[in-house]
Structure 1
C-alpha cells in the first residue's frame, strides 16, 4: 500500500470516527435516565423500564452502525470513482503532451525546411 493510499485510509477512518461520535450524540435522547439522588422513601423503578431503556439504546446503536456502514460504502464508492477520474485525466494529459511534442517536431522540421530555401 503506498503512502497516499495509507493517508487516505487514515483520513477516512478519522472522518468516520468523527461522524460516528456526532451520530451517537445526535441519537441520544434528552429523556435518558439521569443519576439523581434518591432518598430511601422514593419509588424503585421497575425492571422493565431498565430493559426498555437498554432495548432503546441497542436500537439507537444499531441505527448508528447502519448509518456508519452506509457512509463507509459511500466513501469507498466515491474514492473508487475519484481514482478512475484521476486515471482518465492522466491519460488525457499524456495524450495532450504527446500531441504537443508531435506539433513541436513538425514545427521544427517546417522551420528547417524554410531555412534551407
Structure 2
C-alpha cells in the first residue's frame, strides 16, 4: 500500500491516491512551529489526496524513500539529501486510514543521523 501511495504521489495521480485512501481517512502533521505543516488534521481521502498533490507541487525536487517507520512501512522525504519529512501510515481493510507527517526538525534528527 505504501509503495502504491508513493508511486501515485510521485505520478501526481489523484485518482490512484483517492483509491488508496479510506474515505474516512485522517492525516495530521507535526511541524513543531518550526517548519510549515497543516495545523488541523485533514479528514477524508479525497481532501488528503489533494493536499498531498499540493505538497508535491511545492517541493518537486524531493526524493521519497521507502523506510520502516515505527515498525511499519513508511516514507521518508529528502530534499538535497536532507530528511525533511517522515510519513507513517495505518492501513486497514486494504486502505490507508491514517497518515502522520512528521516535519519537526527536532524529531527528524535521528533520521538525519542515520
The structure number with the bigger radius of gyration is: 1
Structure with the higher helix share, 1 or 2: 1
Q: For this structure pair, what is the TM-score category when the shorter chain's length is used for normalisation?
A: under 0.3
- TM-score between both structures, scaled by the size of structure 1: 0.22
Q: Which has the higher contact order (CA 8 A, sep 6+)?
A: 1
> Hey, which of these two has a bigger chunk of strand by percent?
2
TM-score by length of 2: 0.22
